[in-house]
Structure 1
Amino acid sequence: MLTDTKIKSLKPRDKIYRVADHNGLCIEIRHNGTKLWRYRYRFNGKASMLSLGEYPLVGLADARKARDQAKLLIEDGINPAQNRRQEKIEAQLLNANTFKLVANEYIYEILSNRSNGYISKFKKSLEIDIFPIIGEKNVKDITSADVLFIIKSTVSRVRKTGIRGTGEVTAMNNQKIIGAVIRYAIATLRAENDPTYAVRGAVVRPEIEHARPLTKDEQKLFRCGLDEFRGSNTVRNALLTMAYTMLRSIEVRRMKWRYVDFDEKIITFPISTRNNNQERTTKKNRIHLVPMSDQLFDLLKTQFIESGNKEFIFPAVYKTSSDGIGNATLNVALKNMGLKTVTAHDFRATASTILNEQDFDENWIEKQLAHVDQNKTRASYNHAKYMDQRRDMLQQWANIVDSWKDL
């Protein structure tokens, strides 16, 4: 039988050789001096050999214990070598089913036709709030407690930053992302239950603060403030474009030069389709036409000097990428101008209120606000409706915005 002293004294030879211990256990000495444990056995009359590890990482006592465990398998009619291969396969499957790997597969398989912006936000949520907690956990082992912890942690993180809201909306979005990935795992037979279901309602969406029209003092502060604006020309022009056009802030941020026809004095927001990975250009993803007032025409001509060589009309100011200005840029600029309680969306409410008070046709106003016709088929074909009236209305509206200086 072998001892540690004898094993240490074994030296390499020209050929590989083995020295027996007892009951099929032996140690194999290779040319480079490596010493490997082997267990020789017979299963169903056929000679086989099982590797038990390298000495001294696996000591003599551990090697004998591993041999005895293999013998018990043989007595139960199980081939130790086949059993080990099966364990490796199961381990590989287990590692392939981590939440992180399933999530990345979900992105590749399911989100391939979504816009790059959507995928980027999806990945960012995973990286910031979700992967650090359950990324390496098997998807079938994720519990409602895990999801609840992520939700609560997300709310806490957002509130600490103090930048965007109180965190409930971000937390609810993370819950949706986890649910989507796990339901994909269920559909591909890698999980059985959706743990997000049990914690629905754990976080309540805060009450929505609806847009309101600007007061006269705010109107004057906005229009005069733009003449003394201390930020970049791009952000100033984006703010004024938002005011002149009745567009949503997201539509201003995603405006591209290819939408602009200076000859016809019109901006055309196209439909985004899932097969072109393009961001939605409007909230309801409909063709939307914006006639240019004289003021907007001149503004865009000036902005062309700033960004005509880029894709977006209002590109990110402090980035070298081709992105448009950031989500919060316009609202932050308004706050820096002293409009602490005004948001970008309030300008649409202001336009709607004032134009309705001046007896402009409600249909023209609704069409220019890009409020979707409930009849989707009709909405798909009447994007150019009331074009002459809307052009005149937007010109008068731009004049009204400029008149705020004299309030």
Structure 2
Amino acid sequence: MLNDTKLRTLKPTEKLYRITDFDGLCIEVKPTGKKFWRFRFRYLDKALMMTLGEYPVVGLAEARRLRDDAKALLHKGVNPIEDRVEKKQEEKNASKNTFKLVAEEYIENKIADRTEKYKQQMRDSFERDVYRVIGNKAVKDVTSHDVLKIMENTLKRVQGQNNYGTGEVTAIQNRKFIGAVMRYAIATLRADYDPTYAVRDVIERPEVEHARPLEKQELRILRTKIDTYKGSKTVRNAVLAMLYSMLRSIEIRRMQWSFIDFEDKTIKFPIATKKSKAKSKTQERTTKKNRIHIVPISTQLLELLIEQKKITGSQDYVFSAIYKEGMLSATTLNRMLDYINLGDVSAHDFRATASTFLYEKGYEEDWIELQLAHADENKTKASYNHAKHLENRRKMLQDWADIVDSWKD
């Protein structure tokens, strides 16, 4: 029976030799002086031997434990050599099936027909919140606790950024993105269950704050501070154009010079056009509904557009991004409102305010609803409605623009 003192005194000879411990464990001394632990056993009536490690990296106590582990497998009818090979292969496979690699495969193969914006949104979410926790983890080993940790970290990150909300929506989105990848891993036999299911109700989506008409004091502050805003002229003009026109923020952001007819004094948002299938199966819409939308231009809006033409007339978008090509970002307009101390006011509130004022002034419901581009319940009728009541709506929008300017101090 071996002990540490005897092991240290074992010297190499010209030939390899072995010294027995017990229960099949022995130490093998090579002519080079290297010493290896070996476990000799029988499996299916065949004499076999496996290496348990090199001494002194693997000490006597550790070698005996490894021998006992191998004997436990033999007791279950498992060949410990084959078991070791299978585990090494599993580890190798796991390194090829990390959550990050499977996620990238999912984005590349399963959502190839989604918009680039959607795919980039998923990549950004993974890079920002997910990969740091489970990116290098075998996808089959991702747990519900991992997902919960990611969601909690997301809440802390968002809440730590001023004016970016409380994070529930982002945390829930991250859970959904992870779930999509996990279900893909299940379908491709690389995972057994979806760990996001157990935490689906941990964080609740906050209630949607519906648009509201602005109070009189807010209206005076808004109109006065728009004129005194010291930031980008394009952003200032975009907010004021949104106020004058009753358009959605997405319509303001996507408005192109080709939509504007300065002679007729109208803005015509065209019917959505499909992209090629090679790019996307989705549609790029210029209005929320898939139909033409004509907006009469008031005197104030006309002057504003003439001014804006000098700034962005060489570009496609009327209110283009400030520091890069393309449209303004989705948050830019609301950030201006925050800058002028109206952070609890959203761009959607402009439309609610206009609608409330115009209904109170007795304008026809059809005129207001057409101007807001709300869907007509009769879709056949709606296809002929794009120019309906145009002159009446022109007068209504001019009156509305005058009301807006009446709020200035």
Q: TM-score, normalised by structure 1?
A: 0.74
Q: For residues 89 and 239 of structure 1, do their structure 2 counterparts lie closer, same or farther at Cα, with a shift above 3 Å needed?
A: same
How far has the Cα of 1:385 moved from its partner?
A: 0.7
SS in 2 for 1:163: coil
1:335 aligns with 2:362: no
Alignment of 1:162-311 (within 5 A): 162-260=162-260, 262=262, 265-268=267-270, 270-271=272-273, 275=277, 276-277=279-280, 280-281=284-285, 284=288, 286-294=290-298, 295-311=300-316
How far is the alpha carbon of 1:114 from its aligned partner?
1.9
Instruction: Give distance in 1, aligned partners of 2:17 and 2:302.
Output: 92
Return closer, same or farther for 1:144/1:78 CA change in 2, 3 Å cut-off: closer
For the 8 Å contact 1:122–1:177, the answer to whether it is kept is yes
Q: For each residue in 1:202-256, what CA deviation from the matched residue of structure 2 results, as whole angstroms up to 9, or x when unmatched?
A: 1122222221112233333323333322111110111022112222223322334
State the alpha-carbon separation in 2 of the partners of residues 399 and 257 from structure 1: 25
TM-superposed CA distance for 1:315, in Å, is 2.3
CA distance in structure 1 between the partners assigned to 2:195 and 2:109 by the alignment: 22
Write the distance in 1 (CA, Å) between the matches of 2:390 and 2:259: 18
AA of the residue aligned to 1:308:
G
Partner of 2:44: none
Correspondences of 1:82-121 after superposition (within 5 Å):
89-121=89-121
Question: Relative to 1, partners in 2 of residues 1:128 and 1:390: Cα closer, same or farther, differing over 3 Å?
Answer: farther
Answer yes or no: is 1:159 the counterpart of 2:159: yes
What residue number does 1:127 align with? Answer: 127
Deviations 1:101-145 (A, max 9, x none): 111111112222222222222211111111111111122211111
Conservation of the 8 A alpha-carbon contact between 1:255 and 1:281: no
Q: Can you give the 5+ residue segments of structure 1 that lack an aligned partner in the other structure? A: 10-18, 28-49
Contact 2:375 2:382 in 1 (8 A): no
Is the alpha carbon distance of 1:403 and 1:303 closer, same or farther for their aligned partners in structure 2, counting shifts above 3 Å? Answer: same
Change (3 A) 1:342 1:80: closer
Structure 1 SS opposite 2:353: helix
**Residues of 2 paired with 1:385 and 1:406: CA distance?**
31
Question: Is 2:395 the partner of 1:385?
Answer: no
C-alpha change, 1:126 and 1:235, in structure 2 (3 Å) is same
Q: Is the 8 A contact 1:244 1:394 kept in 2?
A: no
Q: CA deviation at 1:403?
A: 3.3
Q: Distance in 1 between matches of 2:53 and 2:394?
A: 80
Change (3 A) 1:150 1:374: farther
The answer to which of 266-275 and 168-177 deviates more is: 266-275
Corresponding residue SS for 1:290? strand
CA–CA distance in 2 between the matches of 1:20 and 1:260? Answer: 93
Identity %: 42
- AA paired with 2:255? M
RMSD: 4.6
Kept after mapping to 2: 8 A contact 1:272/1:280? yes
Q: How many residues align?
A: 393
Match for 1:222: what amino acid?
Answer: L
- Do the aligned residues in 2 keep the contact of 1:95 with 1:138 (CA within 8 Å)? yes
* Structure 1 residue 312 displacement after superposition: 3.1
The one-letter amino acid paired with 1:232 is S
Task: Provide the rounded CA distance (Å) in 2 between the counterparts of 1:179 and 1:283.
Answer: 32
- The yes-or-no answer on 1:358 pairing with 2:364 is no
> Cα 1:95–1:398, aligned 2, differ >3 Å: closer, same or farther?
farther
Structure 1 pair 192/258, CA: closer, same or farther in 2 (3 Å)? farther
- Structure 1: distance between partners of 2:289 and 2:186: 31
Partner secondary structure for residue 171 of structure 2: helix
Aligned residue identity for 2:312: S
* CA distance in structure 2 between the partners assigned to 1:391 and 1:239 by the alignment: 25
Under a length normalisation based on structure 2, what TM-score does the superposition of the two structures give?
Answer: 0.73
Residue among 349, 353, 358 paired with 1:346: 349
Q: Specify whether residues 143 and 305 from structure 1 end up closer, same or farther in structure 2 by C-alpha distance, changes over 3 A only.
A: same
Partner of residue 317 from structure 2, selected from 303, 312, 326: 312
Change (3 A) 1:384 1:332: farther
Distance in 2, Cα, partners of 1:404 & 1:251: 20
Unaligned runs of 5+ residues in structure 2 are: 1-7, 20-27, 30-49
Structure 1 residues 99, 351: CA separation in 2 closer, same or farther (over 3 Å shift)? same
